[in-house]
Structure 1
Amino acid sequence: LTRVMSTVLVCIGQCGNQLGAEYLSHQLAVEPSVVSDALGNVRAVFVDSERKVVQSMCRKYPALRGRVPDANCVTARQGRGNNWAYGYSASGDEALCAERLVDDCIRRVGEQCDYFSGVLLAHSLAGGTGSGLGTRLAECVRDSLGLQLLAHCCVLADRDTPLQNYNSLLALSRLAGLADCMLLYRNSSEASPAQVNESVASHLSRLLFPCRSLYKSCRLGGNELAELTRSCCPLPGLSLLRTASANDLPCLLRCRPRPASTVAAVAVLRSPSGSKIRAPKSADCDALKAYLRPVAYNAFPVDYWMDSGWGGGGSSLTLAYNSVSVVDWLVPIATKSAAQLSAGAYLHHYERYLPDAREALRLVSVQFEDLIAGYRSMR
């Protein structure tokens, strides 16, 4: 199997850069060709409104040293103030012009792929650069690259900051209609940022590393993200995925809370190089199906991928699923942002960059409620 990654990773903001660097380090440790071109440079673009974020990222992760060309790093002179509207407008910073980023960086890196299937944007939903510029970049990728896959790896904040609910509301309501697939994660107040990055990067690596069972009759791999989207996102606009990972099925079945009303899922089974991997038994499939509690109208809710060439550690089972359970993460955003909007709180932060901020947020709130209603209707 010739393993060639066909997706360009775009890391946006502090969270996105740290998460992307952790993910790339995982992949480079397993098989560098998955995320590198012929010159050894990673197929990634790093974007932030502050230069120090990108510089510290390259220092912190030794695996990336010498693999990130200056042309793939785009920075500005100041932060976005944790403000979605400021990040979206990129006011006063030509370097962060989304249209130029797509044409000058993302398209160039994509053209260096053996085959280019799309873009994976990694960013937070709470900060100004991640949520605002991430949304603007997604719009430009969709406009410029057309039918190419557009996927996101997004992190929700679990710690309360004044603008995070507005930022998440504005970003999610827009991205849900743009993205083909969104892998959604949430910071834990009990875990450090480094632990969260490690966990998310581990899940991504196990999901997206080329899987042999998908390419039995050809030697070209690397299209796992497109296959994940095809399997788990059958309904337009309802493409928010959650993931879970464990060493084996019994450990996975102990993960709580259980998913509810799962529309579709992908289970990725990996074993170390040289060891044999076996197809799951009927009893195991039934146990996983019971754990997912699938909707009645999908007769085949779980796709199984298997790979015996995994060099990233021991055996693992990683699950990605599209479930009504994601509503548990969306409702608090809607509730808290509605309370803030009703009180007129923090609107002055947005009014400079977002005309009639109150009305704009009210309309976005309606769209967000439609997203929640769409998921609840899947039961």
Structure 2
Amino acid sequence: MSAVILQVGQCGNQLGLEWCELLCKTSKQVAHRSPFITKEDTLAVVCVDSESKVLKRAHRLVKNKKLLESNVVQGKGGRGNNWAYGYHGPRGAEGDKLLHGAMEAVRREAEKRDYYGGTVMVHGVSGGTGSGLGSRLCEEIRAEYPVSHLLSVSVVPHQSGESPLQHYNTLLSLDALHSGLSLGMEPWELIRSVCPMPSAKLLSITQASSREKQKWDRLAGLTLQSVPQLSPAGKSYTSRAVLAVARGDQDKSFATSRALYKLKRGHRCVAWNPFPIDHWTDPCNEMTGSSSGAAQLLTVCSNHSSVTSLLDHTLRRSKEKMDVRAYLHWYERYGVETQDFQQAMDTLLNVMEEYDAQ
């Protein structure tokens, strides 16, 4: 019971509340050992948005006594798909109200714990609230709880078509979030397994499942189908480390299968890491509540260099807009200057260099 989930913005709450409802359906035995369920059998979740419409589902959880009402923090207006507006908020008391309300809710949850390990933040990076307010909350949490851990679950946008500001917002969010990840326990064990280098800590997830008994190496092959192999320049992508989570492994066959070998080869694990692949298993597939072994789910988390494709695209599109000063006045209005964009670009370039180094 050491983790607090912080869901920020429309995307973060849509994704997070789906997970909350799934977690509420799990067995009491599973819930009892979950780091996301409190001793009072409520969700250790804080839902924050600048508008109320997305939080209606959160209020249903409050009504069902699965979520504390004080953990639902909402504002009276959106953030205009603008990172700067989300980060600084409107002028006056309303600007600080949402930030302070969110931090108070996190503080209350943290103080209930015998041990507060840290926060898992779920948000999108292309809009205003999830990106801007999410970045601000990361900074506030790091300042308030400097020895705790912070794991960001970030939803990135499509390459084009969502918002003319999405590349700026993504750029500024990734800059703010890059220093927000640290190593630790429980959910943080994921990071311990797949981040051998603190400077390279952007992770990707693939999954494959089966309703019938399958060989684990077949599911491993299915997860590899969506893993990019070559960069646009024809360079092979690599993985710093890989973690495989096999749910429904009732006969303990995963460790003796060829799945780990197939994943190691398919992800092209770097030669310098002596232990590039790790695995966790569970006889029960908790995602469906099955303990019969009939349902299998393989989740693969990889520290894969294909993330540089996202970073490169974000940098290029942001620079194209900056060169003609497109939309910059919308950010300058809330205190974000050209040098802030340049600093964010430098950060992303450094990350790309880390991943490009073999």
Same fold, TM exceeding 0.5?
yes
Return the letter of the residue paired with 1:241: L
1:178 alignment partner, SS class? coil
**8 Å Cα contact 1:85-1:128 kept in structure 2:** yes
Return the letter of the residue paired with 1:21: L
- For 2:64, the equivalent position in structure 1 comes to 65
Q: Structure 1: which 5+ runs fail to align?
A: 182-221
**8 Å Cα contact 2:58-2:67 kept in structure 1:** no
Following superposition of structure 1 onto structure 2, how do residues 152-301 of structure 1 map, counting pairs within 5 Å? 152-158=152-158, 159-180=161-182, 223-247=185-209, 248-254=216-222, 255-258=225-228, 260-271=237-248, 275-281=250-256, 283-301=258-276
Q: Structure 2: which 5+ runs fail to align?
A: 210-215, 230-236, 289-294
Q: Structure 1 residue 67: deviation in Å?
A: 1.6
- For 2:212, the equivalent position in structure 1 comes to none
Q: 1:320 to 1:64 in 2, by over 3 A?
A: farther
Q: What does the per-residue CA deviation read over 1:83-119, in whole Å, with 9 as the maximum and x for residues that have no partner?
A: 1001111233232235x532x2112112223432110
Q: Structure 1 residue 18: deviation in Å?
A: 0.9
Return the letter of the residue paired with 2:273: N
**8 Å Cα contact 2:99-2:133 kept in structure 1:** no
The separation in 2 between residues aligned to 1:325 and 1:310, in whole angstroms, is: 29
Q: Structure 1 residue 43: deviation in Å?
A: 0.5
1:150 alignment partner, SS class? strand
Percent sequence identity over aligned pairs: 33
Return the letter of the residue paired with 1:41: T
Q: Structure 1 residue 128: deviation in Å?
A: 0.5
**8 Å Cα contact 2:46-2:106 kept in structure 1:** yes
Give RMSD over aligned pairs: 2.1
The separation in 2 between residues aligned to 1:336 and 1:81, in whole angstroms, is: 20
| Worse-superposed segment, 335-344 or 358-367 | 358-367
Q: Structure 1 residue 336: deviation in Å?
A: 0.5
Tell me which protein shows more helix as a share of its residues: 1
Q: Structure 1 residue 57: deviation in Å?
A: 4.5
| Worse-superposed segment, 285-294 or 62-71 | 62-71
Q: What does the per-residue CA deviation read over 1:202-232, in whole Å, with 9 as the maximum and x for residues that have no partner?
A: xxxxxxxxxxxxxxxxxxxx95411111111
**8 Å Cα contact 2:2-2:116 kept in structure 1:** yes
- TM-score normalised by length of structure 1: 0.81
- TM-score normalised by length of structure 2: 0.85
The separation in 2 between residues aligned to 1:223 and 1:42, in whole angstroms, is: 19
1:27 and 2:23 are equivalent in the alignment: yes
2:253 alignment partner, SS class? coil
1:10 and 2:6 are equivalent in the alignment: yes
The separation in 1 between residues aligned to 2:305 and 2:269, in whole angstroms, is: 10
The separation in 2 between residues aligned to 1:12 and 1:112, in whole angstroms, is: 21
Q: 1:366 to 1:258 in 2, by over 3 A?
A: closer
Length, aligned pairs only: 327
Q: Structure 1 residue 304: deviation in Å?
A: 1.1
- For 2:232, the equivalent position in structure 1 comes to none
Q: Structure 1 residue 64: deviation in Å?
A: 7.5
The separation in 1 between residues aligned to 2:198 and 2:177, in whole angstroms, is: 12
The separation in 2 between residues aligned to 1:45 and 1:234, in whole angstroms, is: 30
Q: 1:63 to 1:50 in 2, by over 3 A?
A: closer
1:40 alignment partner, SS class? coil
The separation in 1 between residues aligned to 2:312 and 2:271, in whole angstroms, is: 25
| Worse-superposed segment, 26-35 or 363-372 | 26-35
The separation in 2 between residues aligned to 1:290 and 1:96, in whole angstroms, is: 47
The separation in 2 between residues aligned to 1:58 and 1:331, in whole angstroms, is: 40
Return the letter of the residue paired with 1:361: F
